[in-house]
Structure 1
Amino acid sequence: MRLSLLALTAAALLATPALAAPLELALPDGAAVSAEATTAATSYRLLTGPWQEGAGPASTLEGTRTDTAWRLRADQETTLQILAPLRDQIQAAGYTILYQCETEACGGFDFRYELDLLSEPEMHVDLGDFRYLAARHGTDWLALTVSRSSESGFVHLTTMTVQDVRPVTPDNPLAAPTPAPAIAPSDFATQIEAKGAVALDDLIFESGATDLGPEDFASLRAMADYLSTRPEAVIVLVGHTDATGGLEANIALSKRRADSVRARLLADYGVAPEQLSAEGAGWLAPRASSLTPEGRDKNRRVEAVLAPTRQ
């Protein structure tokens, strides 16, 4: 299988000539992703040497971190056989190997527990048989750990794109949020009647949250104006979530978000109750990858869907 490690937009803003090209790793046939996570604006201590007498060399990085773990088929014979082809691909992509080691040469037990890996059983590390590699290409860094059990091989890849993590200020406009354009009533009517649905992108939901802020939302005003001139129209508000957590819980969460929007339209904009209903789709209809913070933000949304006209 293949994994695309895309250079993140914020890294490009640093305007350095040493940016890494997108990296694709070909894993052995039968490899399956067992766990993955992405964290924006975080720090990570990437080990670059052996662990000895309670310490070891490392580079402390700040930026966007991604972690992916794979489980391999049981016929992988040694950790070196797992590592070697991945190492070749990493070097071919322009990365410089900073450090690589095997078990005791790494520092054994102490080295392994300095590695910040995804947890068992998704990523298993045999304390008597593992290998590690650290590499860098411009602002992109990576740490690769491989191990095996009696039943499977395991691969863990951490990538770190170094970038400015300071909050947006007048002196630091990097990654400043772009306000969602207001939807004029005429635009809302054109979009929903032409496409059947409109994403209410000026509504902001934090991960796991359902409440709207107290401000006036242009998309809700445009929807209310549309419905007031079309008393026969019915709109279904459909909530969507990112892919954090289980499906059942996210369907319930997305339904509560849609209910929150419906309640606001009834209370503050005077929409007739019979013109609105609310449903939840969870993470079943993403419009972006939930592997990145930007993708998760896009997926947390409520859409207005035009229902068949009442007879």
Structure 2
Amino acid sequence: MRRFFCAAFFLAALPAQADPPSLTLPQGAAISAARSQAATSYGLPIGPWRNDTMARSGLEGARSDTAWRLRGNQQTTLQILAPLRDQIAAAGYILMYQCETDACGGFDFRYALDLIPEPEMHVDLGDFRYLAAQNGNDWIALTVSRSSESGFVHLTTMTAEDTTPATPGNDLAAPQPSPEPESPAADLAKALDGTGRVALDDLVFASGASKLAEGDFASLSALADYLATRPEARIALVGHTDNSGALATNVALSKERAAAVRKRLIEKLGVPAGQLSAEGAGWLSPRTSNLTPEGRDKNRRVEAVLASTPR
């Protein structure tokens, strides 16, 4: 068996990588490629590809990617993955998502992953496995596949952190007292009164579906408070998607998600139905480019738009 600290020692020469756990890879595993970024953004997949989209965790911080090749491998992808998964769990990580080939979403899921490219990291579209795990600010994405002669393992690690460099002359180089942050309700009210719209970015939907996850969302509580103090205000909830798929399909999905938000506000938070409407814009109003996974992640949202001005 080969200890991962050999790989970690090699990667230490690269700048500002995320610090991975110590893993034991099968005998014969050799690093085929590695890369590292001191500060970057990545939408780490935490759900299957369904209906031209998938759930991602938007992260910012240090990132490292390492690919291994296992020459002469006779193990299945599950046999390669299982001991690595056990070690990740033993290191204190919580499994957030795992899948196998078709259950992941097949071709679309694989090409939504940001992996070191072929030939260093080969992925058989008919036989691969994936998992994502979290330990505090540290995240892991593990992809395993194989060819007829070799096994392949790809590990992405992300450590969420402040991305502002501390340099001489930068006031952030030393800790400074921070002003007391405003409450979510104050932030939302300021945005609505100032610009007439606000994105409800903490909402979570099932991947590719319109079902709003259970639980409390600070943005919805803040919006309910805003409307309670402004009974004449009317809010249009507008769903938005990325540009994957047909416009009609995306308009329908975005409107269904907006309707789910409206229903939650009415049924759980007591907002009068007359103060809310639900609309869908599909991919017609992006707030950033759809050319990157991070951009597509930001474009999938529900916004609250002030439809009438309280007097």
Higher Rg: 1
In the superposition, the TM-score normalised over structure 2's length comes to: 0.50
In the superposition, the TM-score normalised over structure 1's length comes to: 0.50
